[in-house]
């Protein structure tokens, strides 16, 4: 049976992650409070942030920004948690 968590992002009980996605205290906090569905949502949001802010996740500064945004997305951001960067332009739908 799947492990269930009370997801902080979705506001309901949902299937939890199989293992902590990060090391340390933050990884444990995510594992205990974030569902698989919400983690996938974060990964998509994270891709956009990396591209829009041109984050270099190898650098300490890039990692710090990414981790700050992750914390805001799940735990401290409130309504601004999933805000898009000010200059963000959504990709146009692909023509068929």
56-82: per-residue pLDDT in tens? 999 999 999 999 999 999 998 765 555
Domain boundaries 4-78, corresponding CATH code = 1.10.3880.10
**Torsion, Cα of 55, 58, 62, 66 (10° steps):** 90
**In this predicted structure, what is the pLDDT of residue 87?**
65
Per-residue tokens: 65: 């920004």
22-64: per-residue pLDDT in tens? 999 999 999 999 999 999 999 999 999 999 989 999 999 999 9
**In this predicted structure, what is the pLDDT of residue 77?**
73
**In this predicted structure, what is the pLDDT of residue 11?**
95
Single pTM value for the model: 0.80
With beta carbons less than 8 A apart as the criterion, state whether 17 and 30 touch: yes
Where along the chain do its domains lie?
A: 4-78
């Amino acid at each position: 049976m799947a492990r269930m968590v009370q997801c902080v992002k979705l506001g309901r009980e949902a299937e939890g992650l199989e293992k902590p996605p990060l090391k340390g205290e933050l990884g444990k906090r995510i594992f205990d409070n974030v569902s698989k569905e919400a983690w996938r949502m974060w990964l998509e949001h994270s891709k956009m942030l990396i591209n829009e802010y041109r984050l270099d996740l190898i650098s300490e500064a890039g990692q710090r920004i990414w981790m700050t945004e992750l914390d805001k997305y799940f735990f401290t951001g409130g309504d601004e948690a999933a805000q898009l960067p000010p200059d963000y332009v959504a990709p146009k739908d692909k023509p068929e």
